[in-house]
Structure 1
C-alpha cells in the first residue's frame, strides 16, 4: 500500500524535478546491484519521454487550430513521466512480471491520468502524454534488451 501511495504522489506531481532524480537514483541502485539493463532502461525511458513530449509540443504549436479540434492543446508531460516513473519503479520492485502486476501498474497509471484529466488537462492532452510515455517505455525496453522470460515446456 505504501508503494502505491508513493507512486501516486510521484505521478500527481509528475514534474521533472521529482521524476529526473528518481530515475537517476533507480539507475544508480540498479547498476550497483548488477542490473545494468534496468539502469539503461531507467535513463533511456526518461530521455525518450522528455524528447517525445518536447517534439509533440512543437508540432502542436506549429498547427494549434488543427490539434485544438481534437482536444489536444498541450501534450501532457506529467502523463508521459508518470508512465516512465511507474514502469521503472515497478520493474525495480518486481523483477519478474506477472499479469497481476502489469494490471496493477496499468490501473495506477490510469488513475493518475483520470485525476490529471479532471484537474487541468484535456482528455486529449492526457491520452497523448500516456501514448508518448508508453512508446518511450517500449523503446527503452528495446534499447535495454528487456525480453519476456521464456517458459520451458513441462517434462
Structure 2
C-alpha cells in the first residue's frame, strides 16, 4: 500500500487502486482537475493575483463563484473582490489544516445577485492533492463541493 503522506497522482479510469491491504478496486470513472479546467468547470486564479495571498500553491475558483463574483475580473471592483477573498482565505488557512473549510465573507464582498438579492456571503475552500499530488486550492460556494 502506498504511503498516505506521499503525494500521489490522480487515478485514471481503469486503474486498479489498493484501498486497504488485500482490498483492490478498479476506478470506473475519473475526472481530473486538468479536465475540469479545460471544460470550464474550474477557473484558474490568475498568477498575478497570487500576490494578494501568497498561499504557495496554485488555485482555482469554481465556475459559479467566479461568475457570481465578477463578470470581468479586470475591473477595479472585481479585482478588489478577488483580493478580499484571497486575503481572507490566506488569513484563515494560516490557522487551519488541509481539507474543507467554510468562511463567512464580510457583507457586500460579493455583488448582488441578478434577482436583486444580496450577494452570497459564505464560501468554501479546500486544500488538498491535485492531479500530480501537489497541494492545490479550490474555492467555491458550499454547494460546489
TM-score by length of 2: 0.29
TM-score by length of 1: 0.28
Of structures 1 and 2, the one scoring higher in RCO (CA 8 A, sep 6+) is 1
Give the number of the structure whose alpha-carbon radius of gyration is greater: 2
Answer 1 or 2: which has greater helix percent.
1
